[in-house]
Amino acid sequence: MQKTIDVLCIGQAVIDCITRGQEADRHRENVYRADRIELHIGGDAVNESVALASMGYRAAIACGAGTDLAGNLLRGELARRGVDISRVEWMPQLVTPIAQLVVHQDGGRHSINSRATMLEGYLPVPESLRLQEARIVSLASLFRAPLDRAQTVRQIVTAAKQTGAIITADTKLPTFREIRMEELADVWPMIDYIFPNEKEASYYTGLQITEGKEEAFWKMTEQFRKYGVKNVVIKAGADGCYVHGGDADGSAVKIHLPALPVDVVDSTGAGDNFVAGFLSGILQGKDLQTCALSGRERAAASITRMGAN
């Protein structure tokens, strides 16, 4: 079948309520003043698909969302930004997740998530995803709903691999439900690229960063490759990225790229923008270093503004 979609992003779609600078100014006993408070569409699948669409790629999203006010906002914004939403299931019984993000003065952040992120009642199945239409199938929020059940992940990855798609996975730390790594032992060899950040890489490999960050990150990439993943890219924030895999010519690749120096406003969605930039390189047939450079550039641009998109 003709590939009519460049990247299909499967995962979470949320509304981000972002507050910047709240902790700096207590105005009165029960009143705080913030620099800015803004609403943005967010979630890994949203951020990746919007970024890819903005670069001119045919991006589609598969997720579950409610028909409430937040869901209607998602629907309108995704369509306006050119993302194919034909695989989204709009379900009246779902409460569309809203994440509260507090952005600190240095651009770092912490988040508050509710049980709405579990998306109870929504389970994507290969038939409804039309996987055969996509050149790349991105598990945009692996280990978070709806990709937090081993059987669901296995079914999607197996079906996508049978279509000849490239399979990528952007990981998340678990919140309300957890899959053990060994539950996906047969899935890892089908993953072409995995994109954990430094905390996720430590969590899923069981390795700690003690002395010598670079040595620790390379050990983590090696562990993921032992699981069977072909190419491992650790997004290490201010330390840049660590890439361990192989190029099309069969040559082994180990690359560390430092982060670009920019004024950080908000790190929300930086990792998702990195992945989108990296995937753009894959779509163009570029080598791993060029893909990583593209990802780094996209991530650097994203953190100079509020929100992921």
pLDDT of residue 27: 58
State in Å, rounded, how far the first CA of the chain is from the last one.
Answer: 32
Give pTM, 2 decimals: 0.93
23 has pLDDT over 60: no
Question: For residue range 237-294, what is the model confidence (pLDDT) as tens digits?
Answer: 989 999 999 987 778 899 999 999 998 888 888 999 999 999 999 999 999 999 999 9
Q: How high is the pLDDT of residue 211?
A: 64
- b/e 180-209 (16+ beta carbons within 10 angstroms → b): eeeebeebbebbbbbbbbbebbbbbbeeeb
Going 173 to 178 to 181 to 183, the CA torsion angle's sign is negative
Give percent of the chain above pLDDT 90.
76
Average pLDDT of the residues of the chain:
92
Look at 10-19, 28-37, 136-145, 179-188 and tell me which has the smallest mean pLDDT. 28-37
- Confidence (pLDDT) at 123: 93
> pLDDT digit string (tens) for 46-76?
999 999 999 999 999 999 999 999 999 999 9
> In the prediction, which pLDDT does 248 show?
79
